Structure 1
Amino acid sequence: MIFRRLKVSDATFRFALPHLHVAQAQKETTYNEALLRIDGLLHCAVQDELQTAPNATPAESGKMWLIGGLPTGEWQGRAGMIAYWTGSAWRYFVPQPGMEIWHIGAAKALRFINNDWQSAQPVLPAAGGSVVDIEVRSQMEALIGELRAIGLLPS
């Protein structure tokens, strides 16, 4: 039997979590970097969408921002990415198709679809028609209200 050495990439494919390697020195550094990235991506929530990096302090460690479409300064060239402040440096996440984040400032969910962050559009209440069904309309209003309350539909 012939054994071939497989080439292992340095990081995972989707979110660039670093791999540990055989005989690697200081594995804790690689491991801690992976945990830091997982911590940012798990139930991801951004403060707001900004064009330029805020003057974040160590007290704001763990906060994240969505980088706007025309970023400047330190964020230039990173449009649409998620910036994660780790207390002394920024980490950046490239969004993946179907990824969902919570926008704290707007109180709504955003989903990355067709290379853009999108949210649900408002649903107008039922109106008109030749037959008015009061029970159906009240149930629809209740459903729309619940979807708004959990952030799936805008207010």
Structure 2
Amino acid sequence: MTKSARLFLPLLAPGQAQKEITHNEALAQLDIITQAVVQAVGVDVPPASPALGECWIIGPSPEGSWSGMAQHLAGWTENGWRYVQPFIGLGVWTVDEGMFARWDGGAWVTGIVSAAAISIGGEQIIGSRQPAIANPEGGGTADVEARTAIGSILDAMRAHGLIDEPV
């Protein structure tokens, strides 16, 4: 059976009989990966009584009906388990952890957000890391050193967009 290049969805063949079988299989797979939600990540044993539509990310050592499907998404359908091979960038919401997981090409990465900047309401709140601020050392007047260190901290926070410039 010919499959699509990225999502591995089954494609209809010219002159194919019973096209609804192939079409329905593609819809079942799309139902699993569109706005994907999984109950848990890294589970090796299929649940005893899954609810229709529930999904899991299979762990590295699957057993039973999940054998041979390590790291795949498994979704319970009216016709049993359906599997979706992960592809780079595939993201899912994890119910048990309450955060996103994404496939990086070799493993499921959970709880790490990658971005160049974070904006809220069109305003940058967090940007790239700024250079280190040296610890205050020596000196005869602690007050001057403290003001310098605090000023450097405030400058770094402003550069990150965590606080605004003084008025």
The TM-score, its normalising length taken from structure 2, stands at 0.65
Aligned counterparts of 1:86 and 1:56: Cα–Cα separation in 2 = 12
| Deviation by residue 1:56-91 (Cα, 9 ceiling, x = unmatched) | 35xx11110011122222212222111011033111
| Residue 42 (structure 1) aligns with | 34
Identity %: 32
| Residue 26 (structure 1) aligns with | 18
Kindly name which structure, 1 or 2, has the bigger radius of gyration based on alpha carbons: 2
Aligned counterparts of 2:2 and 2:45: Cα–Cα separation in 1 = 30
Map 1:68-107 to 2 at 5 A.
68-107=59-98
Unaligned residue ranges in structure 2 (runs of 5+): 114-133, 136-148
CA contact (8 A) 2:76 2:82 kept: yes
Q: How many pairs align?
A: 126
CA contact (8 A) 1:56 1:85 kept: no
| Alignment CA distance shift 1:33-1:114 (3 Å) | closer
Which residue among 31, 46, 53 is the counterpart of 1:53?
A: 46
Aligned residue type for 2:85 = V
The TM-score, its normalising length taken from structure 1, stands at 0.69
| Residue 7 (structure 2) aligns with | 15
CA contact (8 A) 2:94 2:100 kept: yes
| Alignment CA distance shift 1:32-1:114 (3 Å) | closer
| Deviation by residue 1:118-141 (Cα, 9 ceiling, x = unmatched) | 1217xxxxxx9621439x48x749
| Deviation by residue 1:8-27 (Cα, 9 ceiling, x = unmatched) | x6111222211112221111
Aligned residue type for 1:77 = G
Aligned residue type for 2:89 = G
Which residue among 98, 104, 116 is the counterpart of 1:113?
A: 104
Unaligned residue ranges in structure 1 (runs of 5+): 1-8, 122-127, 142-155
